[in-house]
Amino acid sequence: MAFAVTSCSSADTTAAKAAAEADMALQQGRIPDALRAAHEAVAARDDVSDYWLLLGRVSLAASDYGGAFTAYENVIQLDRTNVEAMRLICQLGLSVRQPDKVDKYADQLLLLTPGDNLPLVMKGGAALQRGDKDAALRFAEQVLAKNPEDLGAQILKARVLAARANFNEAAALIEGSLTASGDNTPRLTFLKDLYSQALDRTRYGFTIKRLAAANPKDPNVQLEYADILYQSGQPAEANTVVRQLMLDRPGDIALAGNILELWLAEGPDAVPQNQIAAQAAMMSLEMKSTYAQFANEIGHPEIAIAIIGRDADGPPTAENSDAKAALAYAMGLQGRRGDAIGRLNEILDFDSAQPRALLARARLYGKSGQSAAAITDARQAVSGDGQNATARLALVDALIAHGDVDLAAVALREGVRAMPGDARLTARLAKTLIASGRRDAANDALRDMTRAAPTSLRAQRLRTSIDPTAVPDKPRPMDPVSPATAGATATR
């Protein structure tokens, strides 16, 4: 969708300009910027359905299912015949656990598109979410009687089986429906979720591999596959996947950030130190900045400086700010903090919310004893990206340095709640609890982590390293509709 910056009023101009900015940021992978701009567009003109549609798409990209649901509801309020929005809101309604609204919109959709199977599948999903497995199965069988190959109905039936803990039967149903040609992504996505709940790491890993093969250009799927390879002791293969992603999407800022977080989760050996500079050499400036920041994180700022060199010279731009921030942080780590802070200030004068610059300045402020300023920057970094474990850990460090130990504990728990399967945050929380004599609470935190990430070998290894007596988790009945796979239920 293209948004022209032409209008007949100041509100029109503001909305169109913000929408164009949001659209561009979304294409570039700058999701927080896209979200901010999309909100500005609807704030200026909340009576234009196109702006709500844009906000819905951006919210989905940000995994903000509640925000997307609200956006598409507003589309329907403005255009009650918008079938696209109504289909999406039925799926999202399951993700945000609004089965009554799913029923309402599914009934409206049946009137608009008679004979469409999707509303019946959605009503079945709503019934399952209420706990009425028999009703859900009836909806599935009703659709399958008309079309035995209906994907949504197959997955709904499999969900009922999984909710009854019949994992093998559910898996057999969907595995048997896989086709030699065509898009198997929705089925594989369901199977991935199923094997995760069943604690079947072998079939889970194999399914991720199949998903990656079916979606070679999907960055999220490819990163998930790389993560599996790292955890299973295949770092060279994982790096091959990551490097191809970097080459395919050289300017994707969000991808660069996700790659860095993956490497930090894996640890200092994610990329061999002696290969960092060589691997970075063939990459775009954005991806070079990712290697440079990783070098900073493992204590080698000299590698970061060599990688960036003069490539980031010139005034700050959206395209070079990450590289400038990595270079400045490297200088700060080498003791040139005044120069580093000055460079970071220049970036933040251009973009006050630039995440890498905020995080770098927060950490350098902390090293300089300016803990209050460090807290301010770290809080802003967390506010901009609540799924960034590095930013959350930096905030904890800044609060501790300021003497706010209780607030640091609160921030750490907030981080674990926001990212319940993250091993770095949970490790920090567990060690903090143990240091305060609360080993039982630490063990509980570790248990919650492995339940949130049931197939993560990284999480399991962390848990057993701290609590060798931990009892392995048991398979659990499948969530009636999880946010990760709700969309797959109705994909056609």
* Homologous superfamily of 185-248: Tetratricopeptide repeat domain (1.25.40.10)
Q: Over the stretch 462-473, which tens digit does the pLDDT of each residue have?
A: 999 999 988 777
Backbone angles phi, psi at 33, to 5 degrees: -65, -40
Q: Is residue 237 very low, low, confident or very high in pLDDT (cuts 50, 70, 90)? A: very high
Per-position DSSP letters for 308-366, written without gaps between them? HTTTT-SS--TTTHHHHHHHHHHHHHTT-HHHHHHHHHHHHHH-TT-HHHHHHHHHHHH
CA distance 458 to 450: 9
pLDDT over threshold 80, residue 332:
yes
pTM for this entry: 0.81
Instruction: Check residue 480 and give its pLDDT.
Output: 57
Instruction: Check residue 5 and give its pLDDT.
Output: 47
Angle at 144 between CA 140 and CA 149, to 5 degrees: 120
Q: Over the stretch 2-16, which tens digit does the pLDDT of each residue have?
A: 554 444 578 899 999
Instruction: Check residue 134 and give its pLDDT.
Output: 96
Every domain range in the chain assigned CATH 1.25.40.10: 185-248
Angle at 62 between CA 59 and CA 64, to 5 degrees: 60
Angle at 97 between CA 95 and CA 100, to 5 degrees: 120
- Please count the other Cβ atoms lying within 10 Å of the Cβ belonging to residue 405: 12
> pLDDT exceeding 70 applies to what percent of the chain?
95
Q: Over the stretch 161-178, which tens digit does the pLDDT of each residue have?
A: 999 989 999 999 999 999
Query: What mean pLDDT comes out for the span 226-242?
Result: 97
Q: Over the stretch 278-300, which tens digit does the pLDDT of each residue have?
A: 999 999 999 999 999 999 999 99
Among 327, 333, 363, CA closest to 346: 327
- Please count the other Cβ atoms lying within 10 Å of the Cβ belonging to residue 434: 16
CA distance 354 to 360: 10
141-145, 367-371, 468-472: segment of lowest average pLDDT:
468-472
